[in-house]
Structures are given as C-alpha cells and as structure tokens.
Amino acid sequence: MVVAHHRTDSLTAHTARRAAARLEAAGYRIDLLDLHAEGFDPRMNTSDQPDWGNREKAYSDEVHAHMRRVLAADVVVAVFPVYWQSVPAILKGWIDRVWNYGFAYGRSKPRLAGKRMLWLGLAGATADDPVVEGMRAVLETNLSEGIAYYCGFSHSTVGLLTGAEERPQRVDAEGNLLVGEAVTGAEREAQYADLDRRAGEFVERFAAEEPVPA
C-alpha cells in the first residue's frame, strides 16, 4: 500500500487506511509505504540512473530496499491525489527510481510478472465535470498501459474518486473554474461517506477478482 500525500490527516491518507482495512479483512497482509513519512527522495540521481548497457547495475541501497518490498508483494495499491491529471511528484519519482531498468522492465521475463495493481486517485472535480472522462482516460493510459502492463503486471485498475474537495469545483464550457460554497454539516458527511463507499467498491471488486495467492 503506497501512500503519496504529505499529510497524515488528509482524505488520501484516510482512504488508504480504509482500503488497507478492507484488504486485511479479505485476507491480505499489508506493507504500508508512506512515501513522505519514510522520507523517500523522488529525485533521480547518478546511483539510480538507468544504464541501458547494463541491466544488472547495482542501484542504491535505498532503492534496493524498495525493490525487495515490491517483489514481496502480490498486489500493489497506490493511493494519491490527482495532480494535473497525473500522480504527485513523489509517487512518480518512486516509480522512476525503484521501477528501474533491469528490475521492473528490460528483461524477457519481467520480475514483476503476474502481480496486480490498483491505483486509487482522489480528484477535486465533481462527477459531472466534463474533464473527468478525459482524466480517467489519461490515467488509464499512463498508469495501466504505460507503467503496470509495461512492467509485466497481469492486471491494473484505476479507481478515480471524484468529489474529493470540500468546495465543489468544475470547469464550464468556456474553461472557467467554478468553485462552489464549502460543503458543511450533514451534507459534507454524506459526501465523504459516498466517497468512502466508492473507494470500498473499487477495493472489494479488485480483491474479488482472484483469490489471495498462497
């Protein structure tokens, strides 16, 4: 379970905790990787720069420790806020440095083959915002096709959770950002209960797709 948010009291962190609890109830053991809390540096460096002529390159100790955690997992779940129709820099940097040449790709038999991936992205846009359809398509293409399947994962699902902001926001036909009044009281509780429900449905469908490996 990879969490990419700088605040432990964020809706992203809450969603990750709830997802972990649901997966534990389904029989999974959870290795929680909070990228900010663990101080992961997303910046590429010389030690972890891919060497296209040497797929056996020994990367940094930090990266090798993360590689072992990925190898030990049957399922990888990433929970993150959607920034610019993509993942936050810290999650992208984790993939850049850890899902590296010779480890996650670059071999005839991928080391990550057969693993499954769930991406849970929280977006401020409301469900009826016209941008959501394109956002979902971009995330599916970049995350499932461009990363997970490229690295040999057998299955990848993107769960886009809209309506994550307390102030409803959408873009109108002229491209103007419309921000509504803050949702409060019972309406706010209902909004986040609905987001919890939708997140739970993504997790439970994902967990039910195949038995927990022995």
DSSP result, 22-37: HHHHTT-----EETTT
Q: Looking at residue 210, what is its pLDDT? A: 63
pLDDT tens-digit series, residues 197-206: 999 999 999 9
Q: Is residue 133 part of a domain?
A: yes
Give the domain CATH number at 136: 3.40.50.360
Q: Is the overall model pTM greater than 0.85, yes or no?
A: yes
Q: Looking at residue 212, what is its pLDDT? A: 42
Q: Is residue 129 part of a domain?
A: yes
* Alpha helix segments (H runs only) across the chain: 11-25, 61-72, 89-98, 131-139, 185-208
Q: Is residue 214 part of a domain?
A: no
Instruction: State the pLDDT confidence band at 129, using cuts at 50, 70 and 90.
Output: confident
- Expressed as residue numbers, the domain containing 200 is 2-208
Q: Is residue 43 part of a domain?
A: yes
Stretch 3-22: mean pLDDT, rounded?
95
Instruction: State the pLDDT confidence band at 183, using cuts at 50, 70 and 90.
Output: low
Q: What does residue 78 show for φ and ψ, rounded to 5 degrees?
A: -110, 130
Question: Rounded to 5, what percent of the chain is helix, strand, coil?
Answer: 35, 15, 45
CA distance 46 to 43: 10
Q: Is residue 85 part of a domain?
A: yes
What is the chain's mean pLDDT, rounded? 91
Q: Looking at residue 128, what is its pLDDT? A: 83
Instruction: State the pLDDT confidence band at 122, using cuts at 50, 70 and 90.
Output: very high
pLDDT tens-digit series, residues 32-86: 999 999 999 999 999 999 999 999 999 999 999 999 999 999 999 999 999 999 9
Q: Is residue 213 part of a domain?
A: no
Q: In total, how many domains does the chain have?
A: 1
Instruction: State the pLDDT confidence band at 125, using cuts at 50, 70 and 90.
Output: confident
What percent of the chain stands above pLDDT 90?
Answer: 74
CA distance 108 to 112: 12
